[in-house]
Amino acid sequence: MRDEEGEPRVRLIVARARAAQEAFAGASQETVDLAVTAAGWAIMEPRRNRALAEQAVRDTGLGTVDDKFDKNHRKTLGLLRDLRGARSVGVLTDDPDTGITEIARPVGVVAGLTPSTHPVATPINYIINALKGRNAVILAPSPKGAGVCARLLDHVHDELAKVGLPADLAQMLPPPASKALTMELMRQADLVLAAGSQANVRAAYSSGTPALGVGLGNVAAIISPNADFQATAARIAVSKSFDNATSCSSENSLVVIGDAWRPLLAALAAEGGVLATPEERSQLEAAMFPSSKLSPAVVAQSAPRLARLAGLDRDDYAACRFIMAHEDTTHVGSRHPLSGEKLSPVLTLYRVADFDAAIAQVRAIYDYQGKGHSVGVHGASPQEILRLGLELPVCRVIVDQIHSYAVSGAFDNGQPFSMAMGCGTWGGNGFSDNLTYRHFLNIIRIVRPTTPRQPRVEDVFDDYWRRYGR
């Protein structure tokens, strides 16, 4: 797919980015860190953040203003904390034992595909990380997010000007967006970052340019009978209702073990959850998945609005925070779409007998959708927690935390703050960690000779020979 008329426009934008980046490539660490701080303040200034959050909801119709304000603030502040003092210019490490010196170099021009669900938080994350590596970045926002992305860039340009840096370090494709223009941008860039739909990720990987894409979310969380039910329900309620569940890290299913069922349901109800009847569950599924595909009309809408769309008129739904649907453990897969990602405040509940059955249930869910992303667990023993990492196809095991916060970095865990989580080969990705500034660097290694450490053949094979012969 090529856009012959659009190709020169993209070439011009990329050329401006390259010129700005080539000048910025010689910047000192101090100048780089000033650029990072400037871009951070572009969104962290409270009045600007509030206006951006309001426009994001107004333009996209997704999520809530207060939660987007909080997300923009918290994720940016956490990223700035992670980058403070981190070296990204010149020599990174110099190890006399190995004789290896690591040197940071920019990747060049970065193309960043950003989703409508996070039309501000993801672009600023890309911009800050790109600047930390002395790169330029060109954003390709979703059509609904283009207006607020342009406003964000205006603020970034104003702040960059204060520290004497060119606006062309951070640009975006001009609207109206098209798949052809985005594909052309990816072809001409040096690195592609793709968040949002799996169609974006597949396009990035097929662009011919090195790409980092994220996997599909469909988080399940296991609840043990040993959990603190009130604390667990409070965490799940925050995670599931935050920004109307725009995050791919919000729980989509709870796998509840044995005697945890009744007390957990009671605790979830106390946090604003409403359990649908079997008839209501069928209505909800039909409204959310016409023709077995998730309807855009339900994405990131409030639970009361979802209830109205589904014709659920029970008084309980008028002010609920999230809706729960109990499913049989065999109801997983394309014929049971509530077992998949819902991007809305709806939780599917499965009841299982024991921890072995819980692992099997999560594996079945991820065989359908969500493999590689993460799994939550509440109240498990250290041995059970370790089993999840050893046995499930996930890159993160989130223990006793607010899942949608914890996965992408929180102030009370060690995960780096990020708006893009790699899901490893299970999720069809080339990386399994959170996207950080190091992904925006080419790291060169100077390799010097050291004292030889060649073992004798006998040292390597002696035990093998004793056990199995030569």
Q: Is 60 exceeded by the pLDDT of residue 240?
A: yes
194 CB-near residues (< 8 Å, 6+ apart): 113, 200, 201, 203, 204, 205, 211, 212, 213, 214
Q: Are residues 352 and 234 in the same domain?
A: yes
Q: Are residues 174 and 287 in the same domain?
A: no
Residue 5: pLDDT band (50, 70, 90) is low
**455 assigned to some structural domain:** no
Q: Are residues 208 and 225 in the same domain?
A: no
Q: Are residues 120 and 51 in the same domain?
A: yes
**427 assigned to some structural domain:** no
Q: Are residues 235 and 160 in the same domain?
A: no
Q: Are residues 306 and 225 in the same domain?
A: yes
Residue with tokens 């469909």: 218
CATH number at residue 209: 3.40.605.10
Query: Which pLDDT does position 456 carry in this prediction?
Result: 95
Query: Which pLDDT does position 173 carry in this prediction?
Result: 96
**60 assigned to some structural domain:** yes
Question: What is the residue range of 298's domain?
Answer: 219-412
Residues linked to residue 349 through DSSP beta bridges, in sequence order: 254, 326
Q: Are residues 137 and 99 in the same domain?
A: yes
Q: Are residues 253 and 384 in the same domain?
A: yes
Cα distance between residue 246 and residue 398, in whole Å:
19
Q: Is 90 exceeded by the pLDDT of residue 386?
A: yes
CATH number at residue 363: 3.40.309.10
Query: Which pLDDT does position 195 carry in this prediction?
Result: 86
Whole-model pTM: value is: 0.95
428 phi and psi angles, rounded to 5 deg:
75, 25
52 CB-near residues (< 8 Å, 6+ apart): 43, 68, 72, 120, 148, 151, 152, 155
What digits encode the pLDDT tens for the residues 314-327?
Answer: 999 999 999 999 99
pLDDT > 70 in the chain, percent: 99
Q: Is 70 exceeded by the pLDDT of residue 4?
A: no
The answer, yes or no, to whether the previous bond of 176 is cis (omega within 30 of 0) is yes
pLDDT > 90 in the chain, percent: 94
Cα dihedral sign, 92-95-101-107: negative
CA angle 425, 355, 265 (to 5 degrees): 105
Q: Are residues 407 and 296 in the same domain?
A: yes
Q: Higher-confidence residue: 198 or 461?
A: 461
Q: Where are the strands (E) in 88-134, listed by range? A: 90-95, 100-106, 109-114
Distances (CA, A) of 236 to 63, 207, 263, 317, 388: 17, 38, 14, 18, 19
Query: Which pLDDT does position 329 carry in this prediction?
Result: 97
- Residue 331 tokens read as 């109801």
Residue 219: pLDDT band (50, 70, 90) is very high
**99 assigned to some structural domain:** yes
Query: Which pLDDT does position 198 carry in this prediction?
Result: 85
Q: Are residues 98 and 191 in the same domain?
A: yes
Q: Are residues 274 and 392 in the same domain?
A: yes
Report whether 380 contacts 224 (CB < 8 A). yes
Q: How many domains does the chain have?
A: 2
Q: Are residues 63 and 181 in the same domain?
A: yes
Q: Which of 200, 306, 245, 292 is nearest to 62 (CA)?
A: 245
Query: Which pLDDT does position 9 carry in this prediction?
Result: 87
Residue positions annotated with a catalytic role? 248
**35 assigned to some structural domain:** yes
**460 assigned to some structural domain:** no
